[in-house]
Amino acid sequence: MVRKMDLDGSCVVVEYGPAAGVFSRSILAKMGPEGRLILIETNADFVRRLREQFGGDPRVEIFQEPAQDVTRLLQHAGHDEADYVLSGIPFSFLSAEESHTLIDATRQALRPGGSFLVYQHRDHMSWLLPEHFDQIEEGYELLNVPPMHTYAARRIGD
Q: In tens digits, what is the pLDDT along the chain, a chain of 158 residues? A: 787 888 988 999 999 999 999 999 999 999 999 999 999 999 999 999 999 999 999 999 999 999 999 999 999 999 999 999 999 898 889 999 999 999 999 999 999 999 999 998 888 888 899 999 989 999 898 877 788 899 999 988 76
Confirm if 24 and 96 have CB atoms less than 8 A apart.
no
| Structural domain span for residue 68 | 2-154
Whole-angstrom CA distances from 112 to 9, 76, 83, 90, 153 are 17, 20, 8, 25, 12
* pLDDT score at 67: 97
Domain total in the chain: 1
* pLDDT score at 103: 96
* pLDDT score at 3: 78
* pLDDT score at 158: 65
Q: What is the CATH number of the domain that holds 143?
A: 3.40.50.150
* pLDDT score at 147: 84
* pLDDT score at 154: 94
